[in-house]
Amino acid sequence: MSTLRIGIDVGGSSIKAACVDVDTGRVVGETESVRTPRPSSVPPMMDAFVELDRRLKGEGAIGLAFPSVVQHGIARTAANIDKSWIGVDAAALLSERLHRPVVFLNDADAAGIAELRFGAGRGARGTVIMLTFGTGIGSAIFVEGHLLPNTEFGHMELNGEDAELYASARVRTELSLDWPAWAERVNLYLARMHALFWPDVFILGGAVSENFAAFGPLLKSPAEIRPAQFAGQAGVIGSALAAAMRVS
């Protein structure tokens, strides 16, 4: 019998959740979503998580992927979320609402867990870097399958500003960049990441990876570049896997 866990992934524009078969990495049934509250402060966000769990009729531990450095269940940063989250023990707070264990982790780390276990990084050796392009740029670094959590290299300096303010998918939309113009920015970011870490593989994720055929051939790196298999679903799947594995 399959083991099902709910994964919730918090994005800049929407919060997605689904039941995931953690033995196969497959989403079971429909993916539910709500708009990310404005402001994205703690009470309305918690209400949104509870509502998504109610729709999915969840049981057992639940995973919550969040755009923040997460240490021992506590949010430490808030670059793309309301600052009121800093210092909040979200795992304990949501567990109290749902009466079930909650595993709270960085969103890019969750996406990387999904891709390394069941997706584009399955079987990859050496150093693998997962990058998610959305409202910001998330990063997750794995060495021989082991995660170094909370790397947050979207905030690395690039051309005098945070890299995600230069090469995220949001920037592409806001500046109406065509694929070649955006790929040129991404190439600069990949070159900086490669110079620092010399990865064997880059996995590019986020919803923009669904258009990999349009921009992928324009990317250049000494490392192999792979599109994420789960695209915008990776955070949901990875957070459910983290709940099953009790990753924190």
> 4-109+233-245 in CATH: which number?
3.30.420.40
- Per-residue confidence band for 59, with pLDDT thresholds at 50, 70 and 90: confident
Give the pLDDT confidence score for residue 53 in this predicted structure.
Answer: 96
> 124-228 in CATH: which number?
3.30.420.40
Residue 33 above 70 pLDDT? yes
**What does the pLDDT look like over 138-167, one tens digit per residue?**
999 999 999 999 999 999 999 999 999 999
Q: Where is 196: in which H helix or E strand?
A: helix 179-197
**What does the pLDDT look like over 79-103, one tens digit per residue?**
889 999 999 999 999 999 999 999 9
Coil, strand or helix: which one is 58? coil
Amino acid at 133: F
Through-space distance between the first and last CA atoms of the chain, rounded to whole angstroms:
26
Place of tokens 């795992």: 91
- Per-residue confidence band for 247, with pLDDT thresholds at 50, 70 and 90: very low
Question: Which positions ≥6 away from 37 have C-beta within 8 Å?
Answer: 44, 45, 47, 48
On whether the CB atoms of residues 77 and 83 are closer than 8 A, the answer is no
Tell me whether strands 127-133 and 201-205 are parallel, antiparallel or unpaired: parallel
Residue 248 above 90 pLDDT? no
Q: Is 30 exposed, middle or buried (0-12, 13-18, 19+ CB in 10 A)?
A: exposed
Residue 1 above 70 pLDDT? no
The two three-digit tokens of residue 81, written as one number: 């979320």
Tell me if domain 4-109+233-245 and domain 124-228 are identical in fold: yes
Q: What is the pTM of this model?
A: 0.93
Q: Where are the domains positioned within the chain? A: 4-109+233-245, 124-228
Give the pLDDT confidence score for residue 202 in this predicted structure.
Answer: 98
